[in-house]
Amino acid sequence: MDTERPRIRLRPKADARRIRHGYPWVHLDDVVTDRRTRALAPGDIAVLEDAERAALATVTVNMASRIAARVLDADPEATIDGAWIAARIATAAAHRARLPGGAFHRLIHAEADGLPGVVIDRFGDAAVLQPNAAWADARAEDFADALEGLGIRHVLLNATGRARGAEGLGDGTRWLRGGLEAPVEVSMNGATYLADLTGGQKTGLFYDQRPNHAFVAGLARGARVLDVFSHVGGFGLAALAGGAATALAVDGSAPALDLAARGAELMGRSGDYATRRGDAFDLMTALGEAGERFDVVVADPPAFAPAKPALTAGLRAYERVARLAVPLVAPGGYLTLCSCSHAADLPKFRASCVRGIGRAGRQAQLIHTGFAGPDHPVHPQLAESGYLKALTFRLLD
């Protein structure tokens, strides 16, 4: 280890045991701040010490963020270089190789895979890298080298998103290796999706819903399905693959709906798939006023509560989604409501959904609670890594 590596120290009130037991974040209020620590550049590597100056871990520092340090390695003398990054990625890839889905999955899920702030989704011989922390942004080429070592020829740096702003990072998207112009065809749960890696939302496809798509598809045989906030086909295409009679996709993005329709065409089901573009709340209201009823209704909105300050408004929005969706469900039909807001934990989200169902005047059973798939591991001490919830209700009347 470089003997000149900077050191940051926990305040006496900070709980060093949390770090020793695996907690990956050090909040700004828990760090001694002085001239030396304030002079550290975002992304610098340092040694974290407890209040008695005993070394705890190797961390990356960003004193401009509310997360002042992120643990990279429990070894205070670890060398954070290309070889270290490649070893972490190889460990993550070995897990994904045991999962269904082939070479199409979430390859790196940030802290849960030991690479704080880093998201990598794999699309066959292409990958999308999202370095949402300063240390990783500065080492994007090392990540690209490691991905090449896995046989990935095309690596896109997706440097966009709210998380980067919190780290003081700029936006921009560019190919680090290779390059693709056409959307990537992805087979998942028997459905065919088209992922636009350069122009779509996030990395182009939401792998996290894979098990929840499968569960809903199992309910959809012969059903008429409504997929609200459908993105590139999400639940609707999975339902068609599961034997649904028809599916209607609702979303605000014309490009996403176009990709969804092309996916249905590739599946040979274009005649059974329809799209409607517009505000989801307005369209659900219009469908209800028109007396439309569906056997299966799914609403998978964006994160209404991405952080605690937005929690109250976000929970009201989830309740409104439920209230507007309920009248669209035929008696005995099914309603799946989803949240990707880590600030809205499962009890709070479930309570909002139940209130919405009650205020719509219907009786329901909660029959299934779903989460992200195993390619999205949860850090056992970081609740934020287990953000996705999917509740499926059966409406009795």
Active site members: 340
Question: How long a stretch of residues is the chain?
Answer: 397
- Say how many CA atoms lie within 13 Å of 184 toward its Cβ: 26
Tokens coding 139 = 């080492």
CB 124, CB 395: distance < 8 Å: no
Q: Which residues have a Cβ under 8 Å from the Cβ of 83 and sit 6 or more positions away?
A: none
Q: Which residues have a Cβ under 8 Å from the Cβ of 69 and sit 6 or more positions away?
A: 8, 25, 26, 31, 46, 48, 59, 60, 61, 62
Say how many C-beta atoms besides its own lie within 10 A of residue 333's C-beta.
22
Evaluate the CA torsion angle 214, 157, 379, 375 in order and state its sign: positive
Tokens coding 59 = 């961390």
User: Buried (b) or exposed (e) across 334-372, using 16+ Cβ within 10 A?
Assistant: bbbbbbbbbbbbeebbbebbbbbbeebebebeeebebbb
